[in-house]
């Protein structure tokens, strides 16, 4: 029953991670697309904090009942939401697309310009998947999106989140492991809110760079702590380091890869590319989470954290040389950047 339940949750969660960013970017105005794209990550970290709190103080049956309530509420709210106007325009249902857009923008808003653009985009010749994936711009976008998801996981976020209680117990901190874990959850929520406030001002690349630098520095400190400082009465250091790590992750490598995933692809390949990138992300998450305790036993916590540091450095290099800035850019402009024009 545990395996079956876990499989169903995983399948639904994976599907949601593909469709939610795509739906959000399709309903958002260009000026707030980055902000709305980050709300996906914001609600993820709220869910993690919720899980930390109820997991610390409730038994497993109550935890699962409490976690059942949220998807049911989501279903009720989603009934009131319109279909994506971009999707409706692609299906030739212009009247429904206009109605959906007016619902989203407000009845008094003039949506004629947006609808005209959607109709023009929907009339573009749709390539077959074989033709679409033979385009260099599609392959380049896919490579960037998958690499960002790989770096997102290899810098250690899910390993740290899933085993944060164990890490604090091993580190010998003065606070209880449950309280420390909840503190981390709160920090993650606050930092993600900060990312939402900065995303349209700082841009995607700068936030990714800051994120990688902070994560690299903090995992370096964690490695040093376990190697040389564990018996030096500095139990506050792991809490501070992991809190800063979470802040760094939440500023960039948490929300931005999901946002960029929905921005890099043309409409004819966005669904399948989103599915590939989303699947890659959770495959990487599975591998890192599975290998983390094995690596801890094999080489110890210090070298494990230093491995995360190396990948954070690689993340900096990759962002500088390969990731395009997509802030306030229309889809055609992003495709032109990827093609080198």
pLDDT tens digits for range 258-290: 888 888 888 778 878 888 898 898 899 889 889
In the block, tokens 């008094």 appear at 108
- Write the CB contacts of 339 (distance below 8 Å, at least 6 apart in sequence): 136, 137, 140
- Cα 188 from chain centroid? 13
Token pair belonging to 64: 């699962």
CB 333 within 8 A of CB 131: no
Closest to 94 in 3D by CA, of 67, 76, 71, 117: 117
> In the chain, what are the domain boundaries?
128-340
Q: Which two tokens stand for residue 136?
A: 């260099």
Tokens matching residue 36: 């709305």
Looking at 79-128, list the stretches that DSSP marks H as alpha helix, in order from N- to C-terminal side. 85-90, 94-105, 112-122
Residue 141 to residue 253: CA distance in whole angstroms: 17
CA atoms within 13 A on the CB side of 167: 31
Tell me what pLDDT residue 233 has.
74
Distance (Å, whole) CA 88 – CA 94: 7
Q: Distance (Å, rounded) from C-alpha 201 to C-alpha 205?
A: 11
Predicted pLDDT of residue 236:
80
Give the separation between CA 200 and CA 192, rounded to whole angstroms. 14
Tokens 């139990």, residue located: 235
This prediction has a pTM of: 0.81
Which regions in the chain score pLDDT beneath 50?
A: none
Token couple for 249: 């992750």
Instruction: Please answer whether residues 226 and 299 qualify as being in contact, where contact means their C-beta atoms are separated by less than 8 angstroms.
Output: no
CA 60 to each of CA 68, 228, 281, 296: distance values in angstroms, whole numbers, following the listed order = 12, 37, 27, 27
Rounded-to-10 torsion of CA 312, 313, 319, 320: 160
What CATH number was assigned to the domain covering residues 128-340? 1.20.1250.20
Q: How far apart are CA 94 and CA 321, in angstroms?
A: 41
* Model pLDDT, residue 127: 61
Do 31 and 200 contact (CB within 8 A), yes or no?
Answer: yes
Task: Tokens for 23, please give them.
Answer: 């739906």
d(CA 321, CA 51): 37
């Amino acid at each position: 029953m545990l395996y079956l339940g876990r499989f169903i949750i995983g399948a639904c969660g994976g599907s949601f991670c593909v469709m939610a960013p795509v739906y959000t970017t399709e309903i958002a105005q260009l000026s707030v697309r980055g902000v709305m794209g980050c709300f996906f990550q914001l609600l993820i970290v709220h869910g993690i904090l919720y899980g930390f709190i109820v997991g610390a103080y409730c038994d497993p049956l109550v935890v699962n009942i409490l976690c059942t309530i949220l998807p049911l509420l989501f279903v009720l709210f989603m009934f009131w939401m319109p279909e994506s106007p971009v999707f409706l325009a692609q299906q030739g249902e212009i009247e429904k697309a206009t109605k959906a857009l007016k619902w989203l923008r407000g009845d008094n808003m003039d949506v004629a310009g947006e609808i005209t653009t959607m109709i023009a985009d929907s009339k573009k010749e749709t390539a077959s998947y074989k033709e679409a994936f033979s385009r260099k711009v599609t392959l380049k976008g896919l490579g960037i999106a998958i690499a960002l998801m790989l770096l997102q996981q290899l810098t250690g976020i899910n390993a740290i989140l899933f085993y944060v209680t164990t890490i604090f117990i091993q580190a010998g901190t003065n606070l209880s492991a449950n309280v420390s874990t909840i503190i981390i959850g709160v920090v993650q929520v606050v930092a993600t809110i900060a990312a939402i406030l900065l995303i349209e001002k700082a841009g995607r690349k700068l936030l990714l760079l800051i994120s990688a630098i902070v994560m690299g520095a903090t995992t370096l400190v964690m490695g040093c702590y376990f190697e040389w400082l564990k018996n030096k009465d500095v139990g506050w250091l792991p809490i501070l380091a992991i809190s800063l790590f979470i802040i760094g992750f939440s500023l960039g490598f948490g929300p931005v890869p999901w946002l960029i995933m929905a921005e890099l692809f043309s409409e004819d390949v966005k669904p399948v590319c989103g599915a590939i990138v989303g699947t890659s992300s959770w495959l990487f998450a599975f591998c890192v989470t599975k290998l983390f305790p094995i690596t801890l036993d094999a080489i110890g916590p210090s070298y494990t954290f230093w491995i995360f540091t190396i990948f954070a450095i690689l993340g900096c290099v990759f962002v500088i040389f390969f990731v395009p800035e997509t802030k306030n850019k229309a889809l055609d402009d992003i495709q032109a950047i990827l093609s080198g024009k």
